[in-house]
A and B are shown apart, each in its own frame.
Chain A
Amino acid sequence: MANRQKAVLKRVLKQLKKYKLCLFATLFFAFITVAGTLAIPIFFGQIVNLIVGKGNVLFSEIFIKFIIIAACIGVTALSQWLMSIINNHITYNVIKDVREEAFANIQRLPLKFIDAHSYGDIVSRNIADVDQFADGLLMGFTQLFTGVLTIIGTLALMLVINWIIALVVVVITPLSLFVAKFIASKTYSLFKKTSEIRGEQTAFIDEMLGNLKVVKAFNREDENQEKFDVLNDRLTKTSLKSIFYSSLTNPCTRFVNAIVYAAVALTGALMLVFATPLPVVFNVGLLTSLLAYANQYTKPFNEISGVVTELQNAVACAGRIYELIDEKPQTPDGENSVRLVDVNGNVDFENVYFSYTADRKLIEDFNIRVKAGQRIAIVGPTGCGKTTLINLLMRFYEPTDGVIKVDGNDICGVTRKSLRSNYGMVLQDTWLKSGTIKENISLSKPEATDEEIIAAAKAAHAHNFIMQLPDSYETVITEDGGNLSQGQKQLLCITRIMLCLPPMLILDEATSSIDTRTEQRIQRAFAKLMNGRTSFIVAHRLSTIKEADIILVMNNGNIIEQGSHEELLALGGFYSNLYNSQFAI
C-alpha cells in the first residue's frame, strides 16, 4: 500500500513537471508572502517601543516605520494574490490534463472493460475523484508551502529575538500537535463508521424509494419505516459521536495556544522585570511581536495536519484515476491493417470460438457463410446471447479462436474504422446524444447537407414526427432522448443509417413498447434498408424470421441450430418447439 502510494505520488510529480516554472514562481511568492507576514509584526513591535508614554513618543521614527510597513503590506498582498493565481493555474491545468488523458483512454478501452464496469464508477473517477484530487493539490500548494515556511521563519525569528522564549514555545508546541493527532485518529474510525452506516441507509432508501410503487402495492410501508428507523437511530448515534469529537480539535488546540501564549507572556514579562542585565536585547515591543508570533505559530501546524489528511485522500483519488488512465487499451490497428473498400457484403465465420470468461464457454466452432445480400435472422429466448453475435460482427469483442471474414478479409486484420463504417447498426437500446435532432442524424455523415438529412428522414418515415417537434430538426433532445418515445428514437437511429447507407446491416427488432403505427413505419423502413444489403436481424416477428435466408437459433449463448424456416421446422428441434408453442394455450 505504501509502495503504491509512493508510485502514485511519483506519477503526480511527473504530471507537475510541465509546470516547473510555475512551481518555482509559486515557491518564490510563498517565500515573499511569509517573509512579509512575519516582518510586519516586528515593525509593529518596534513602533510599540517608540510609544513609551506621555510626551515620550518618537513620531519621526514612527512615520518612517509606517512607510516601510505600508510597502511591506503592498508587496505581501500582491505576492499572496499572485501565488493564489499561480496555484489555481497549476491545479486546474493539471486536472484538465488528467481528465483529458482519462477521457482519451476511455475511447480506446476495449468494450469488455466498459461492459464490466458500472458507468457510475467510471464517471465518478473522472469527475468526483479528479475534483477531490484538485482540492488536495490546491490545499497542498497554498497551505503546505506557506505553512512550512511560516513555521521555519517564525522559529528562526523567535530564536533571533529571544532564544529563551523561543525555547519555551518549542517545548510546548508538540502538545498541540499531539492533541490534534489524537483527536484525528479517534475521529477517523468514527467517520468511517458513519459513512458506512450512511451508505447502508442510502442503499436502503435507494432501493425502497426507487421502487416505491412496488412497496405500496404490497403494503410494506410500515415494515420499511421500522427498518428505516433502526438504521436512522444507528446513524444518529455514530454521527453524533463523530461530529462531536471532530469538533473538539479547534477548542483543544486553541487551549494549547492559550497556554503557549501565557507562557510567552510570563517568561517575557519576568525577563523584563528581573533579568538585569538582560542576557539578550529585549523590550515591550519585542514581547508584543513575540506574542503575535505565538498566536500564529501553532496555526500552520494544525493546518498542515489537515493538509496531510487531505493529501492522503487526494493521492488515493489520483490512484483511482491513474488506474483508469493505465487501463490497457484495445490493441491499436496494425500498420499493415487493410482498409475495407467497396464491400460486397460476404461474411464468413470460420471455426469461431468465443466466450466472455474462460470458465463459461459460449460459442464453439461456429461456421457460417453469408453471401452478399442475404438476410440472417437471429432468434432465441431473451438473454440467449444474441448481442454476442453483434459484438463479434462489429469487432467490439474479438473471437477467442477462429476468424471472421468480410469479403475474404479477416476482420482482425482490417482497420476498425473501415470495418465499422461498412455496417449500419440499429440496436433496440437506442442511444441518442444530447444535442439537436440534426446533430443526432448526421452522426453517421457529418458532412451531410440539410437536404440529404431531410431525404433520409423521409425515407425512414421520421420526417413527419420530427416536423411536429417544437423546433423540428433543430429541436434539442436531452441526454438519451428523454422526451421522445421509444419508437421515435428507433426511427431516428434508422434515419442515421438511411443517411450513409452502408452495405451491411445489423438490426435489432423491438420486442415491445412501440405503438402499432410507429411499428409499421419501422418495419417499412427496415424493409427498404435491407433491400440488397447483407442484414443480420435480431428478430422477434414471425414474418421477418420466415423471410430470412438463414435462421440462427441461439440458446444459452450458443448457436444451436441454423438453417431456413422449413429446414428447421423439419428438424423438429428447439426452433420448431418455439414456433409451435405460440399457438398453444
Chain B
Amino acid sequence: MRKLLKYLNNYKLQSVLAPLFKLLEAAFELIVPLVVAAIIDNGINGGEGWRYILNACLVLVALGAVGLVSAVAAQYFAARAAVGFSKELRRDLFSKMQSLSYSEIDKLGTSGMITRMTSDVNQIQSGVNLVLRLFMRSPFIVFGAMIMAFLIDVLSGGVFALAITALCIVVFSIMLVSIPLYRRVQNRLDKVTTLTRETLTGARVLRAYCKEEEQIESYNKDNRQLTKAQNFVGKISSLMNPLTFAIINAAIIMLLYVGALKVDGGALTQGNVVALYNYMSQILIELIKLANLIITVTKSFACAGRVNEILEMKSSLESLPRGEKRESVPFIQFNGVCVNYGNSAVDALNEITFSAEKGQTLGIIGGTGAGKTTLVNTIPHFYGVRSGEVLIDGENVNAIGDEKLRDMCGIVPQKAVLFKGTIRENMQWGKNDAEDGEIMAAIETAQAADVISSKADGLDELVEQGGKNFSGGQRQRLTIARALVKKPEILILDDSASALDYATDANLRKSLKELDYKPTVFIVSQRTSSIRHADKIIVLDGGKMVGVGSHEQLLKECETYREIHYSQYEKEGA
C-alpha cells in the first residue's frame, strides 16, 4: 500500500485538507453537549433568561452549519483525492500491463488482469476515500468525547475509558471471529457457483447420462451447507448490536451513579451530567464506523498488494543495444535456440537450429506441446531465448527494437480475434492509413471476399466484441487478411487455417504464393496437407527438432513425420 501512496502526490493538498476539515466538523460536534449543559445550568436552573437560551440555541444551529460546511469541504477533497488517485493508478496499471511480455501475460491470465484493473482498483479507491474521511474523525470523536469527559470530571472520564475499552474488545473480537467465517461462506458460495456453471457448460453430457436429478441433489447439499454457514456467522455477527447497546447503557448507568454522587457532593451540576450522558451516546456510532472502516481498509490492503505485484513486475525480455550486423547470412537464422518459460525443468524449445531464405515458405508441424507456437513467437521477440540466438537479416532480434521488429512481421494467432468496430477499422490494425483498395486486396488473398460481400455494409459492417457475429472460419480468414494488410516481410500463420476446409486452405496457400512482395511465410499446422508443399518443413516433438526437410525427404527419413502423416492419410492415398 505504501508504494501506491505516490499516486496521491498530485493530490497532496486534498489529502491533507480532507481529514483536517473532518476534524473541524468533529470538533464542532463535540462542543454541542457543552452548550446543552450551559442551557440547563445557566439558562434554566441559573435564571439567565430567554436571551441566553436563544443565543445558545443559535450557537447550536451555527455549530451545525459550520459543521456542514466543513463536512462538505472534506467530502469534496476526499472524493477528489480518491478519484484522482485511482485514475492515475489505473492509467499506470494499464500501461504496465500492455508492456508485459508474453510469459508474464501467460502467468497472470486475462481474468487476473481484468479483476486487478476493475474491482481491485475500485476497492482501493473506496479505501482511500474512506480513510481520508473517517480515519481521523472516528478516533477523534471517540477520544475527544473521553477527553471532554475527563475535563468535566476525572472519575466520569474513567467510566468512559472503561466503556471504550470494553466496546473495542467486543467490536474487534467479533470482527476477528467473523472474518474467517465469512471467508468460509464465500468458499461455499464459490462451490455453488461452480456447480451452476458446470451444469450449464456440461448440459449436453449431463443430460446424455441422465444426471439431472443427481445434479439437483448435490446442488441442494452444497446449497444447504452454504445456508448453514451463513446462519452460523450471522449468529455471531449479530451479537455486535445487542452487546454494544448493553455496554453503552451499562456505562450510562455507571456514569449517572458517579454523577449523582458528585452532584450530591456539589462537585458537578445537573447540566454536567446531561453533557456526559450525551458524550457517551456519541461514542457508539463512531466506534461502529471505525470497525467498518477497518474491514474496508483490510480489503483495500489486499487489493493494493495484488495491484502492486503487477506494477513491480519486471519484463523478462531483455533488449540489447543494436549490435553489429552480420553480412551474407540467410534471411532468418536460428542458432541453437533454447526457450524456457520461467523455471520449468524442461525447456520448451531445445537447441533449435535452422535457416530460411527470403520468400521461402516454412512449415512447422508436431503434436500439442511440441513447441510450434513457441518457435514462431521467438521471431517477433515475444519470448526471449534462454540461450542461442534468433537472427533476422543478420541481426539479433533482441537488438532490432521490438516496435520495428513487429512492424516487419504479420502475425495470425491461433485464436482468431477481431475487435469491436467496423471491419475496416479491424483491417487498419495492420496499417493505420490503409485504403480500401489495399484492404480488399488483402481480404481477397485471405479468401475472405465472400465474407465481405455477404455482409450488408461491406467493410463498414460492425464487428461485435470478440467478433461474435462472425463464424469461426470467417474470423480466421479476416485475421489473416488483417496481417496481410501491412504487407509484412515475415508472415506467421499459427495454426490459423484449422477452421478452414481443405479447399479453402489450399486456395489460401496458393494465393499467398502469388503475393508480389514475396513474404517469408511460416505455417504452423497439425495437418500435413497444409504444409506438405512448403520449401522446408520443421518437425518438432517435445521441444526438440526431430526432422527438417521437404515432404518427400521427411516421409523417407523422419519417423515422427511419417506417423503424423499416415494418421491423417492412408498409405495408398498419399
Contact = CB atoms under 8 A, between A and B. Distances in A.
Nearest to A396: B204
B208 A265 contact: no
A123 to B, nearest CB: 5
A259 B63 CA distance: 10
Given A55-B266, A88-B235, A265-B36, A232 B567 contact: no
Contacts of B308: none
Given A48-B270, A265-B53, 13 more contacts: A57-B260, A62-B260, A127-B189, A206-B114, A218-B429, A218-B430, A219-B406, A239-B83, A240-B80, A255-B67, A272-B44, A273-B49, A493-B205
B270 A52 contact: yes
B150 interface: no
A266 interface: yes
B309 interface: no
B207 A258 contact: no
B498 interface: yes
Contacts of B194: 434, 479
A107 B213 CA distance: 8
B515 interface: no
A213 interface: yes
Contacts of B368: 485-487, 513-515
B472 interface: yes
A114 interface: yes
A87 to B, nearest CB: 8
Given A114-B203, A225-B98, A57 B216 contact: no
Given A119-B197, A255-B67, A585 B509 contact: yes
A280 B54 CA distance: 21
A303 interface: no
B403 A515 contact: no
Interface stretch (A4-12, A67-75, A335-343, A357-365): A67-75
Interface stretch (A92-100, A147-155, A306-314, A458-466): A92-100
A73 B210 contact: no
A239 B84 CA distance: 10
B118 A205 contact: yes
A485 B369 CA distance: 9
B72 interface: yes
A251 B29 CA distance: 12
B245 A76 contact: yes
A119 B436 CA distance: 38
Interface stretch (A345-353, A399-407, A423-431, A448-456): A423-431
A53 B204 CA distance: 84
B273 A420 contact: no
A292 B281 contact: yes
Interface string B220-251: 10011011001100110011011101100110
B263 A53 contact: yes
Interface in B517-574: 526-527, 529, 533, 560, 563-564, 567-570, 573
B460 interface: no
Contact of B256 (A37, A44, A93, A292): A44
B54 A431 contact: no
A64 interface: no
B97 interface: yes
B24 interface: no
Contact of B367 (A95, A243, A517): A517
A582 B472 CA distance: 20
Interface centre among A93, A431, A514 (most CB of B within 10 A): A431
11 contacts: A77-B245, A84-B241, A84-B242, A103-B215, A103-B219, A127-B196, A232-B87, A247-B75, A383-B472, A383-B499, A479-B197
Given A119-B197, A207-B465, A212 B208 contact: no
Contacts of A417: 210
B277 A44 contact: yes
Given A209-B110, A274-B50, A261 B60 contact: yes
A57 B264 contact: yes
Contact of A80 (B199, B241, B252): B241
B205 A431 contact: yes
Interface centre among B213, B407, B503 (most CB of A within 10 A): B503
A81 B502 contact: no
A217 B380 contact: yes
A99 B256 CA distance: 52
A66 B257 contact: yes
A54 to B, nearest CB: 4
B53 A270 contact: yes
A511 interface: yes
B39 interface: yes
Interface residues of B, number: 163
B246 A73 contact: yes
A263 to B, nearest CB: 8
Contact of A420 (B49, B208, B266): B208
Interface in B256-298: 256-257, 259-261, 263-266, 269-270, 273-274, 277-278, 281
A207 B426 CA distance: 13
Nearest to B70: A251
Interface in A210-236: 210-221, 224-225, 228-229, 232-233, 235-236
Contacts of B484: none
A520 interface: yes
Nearest to B232: A88
A291 interface: yes
Contacts of A131: 189
A520 B566 CA distance: 10
B253 A69 contact: yes
Contact of A394 (B78, B204, B241): B204
Nearest to B238: A84
A221 B270 contact: no
A374 interface: no
Contacts of B152: none
Interface stretch (B341-349, B351-359, B389-397, B413-421): B413-421
A269 B256 contact: no
A252 B498 contact: no
A94 to B, nearest CB: 10
Interface in B478-514: 482, 495, 498-504, 506, 509-510, 513
B79 A243 contact: yes
B200 A88 contact: no
A517 B567 CA distance: 9
A284 B53 CA distance: 14
Nearest to B365: A516
Contacts of A549: none
Interface string A419-445: 011010101000101100000000110
Interface stretch (B2-10, B99-107, B176-184, B330-338): B99-107
Contact of A431 (B204, B245, B261): B204
B420 to A, nearest CB: 6
Given A261-B60, A266-B53, A543-B570, A479 B205 contact: no
Contact of B249 (A40, A88, A213, A493): A40
Contacts of A423: 208
Contacts of A434: 194, 198
Nearest to A77: B242
Nearest to A541: B568
Contacts of A198: 118
A259 B95 contact: no
B245 A73 contact: yes
Interface in B128-157: 129, 133
Contact of B72 (A248, A519, A546): A248
A314 to B, nearest CB: 17
A472 B117 CA distance: 39
B413 A214 contact: yes
A523 B413 contact: no
Given A243-B82, A585-B506, A66 B253 contact: yes
A541 B540 CA distance: 22
Given A51-B270, A127-B193, A273-B53, A578 B501 contact: yes
A382 B420 contact: no
Contacts of A523: 567
A78 interface: yes
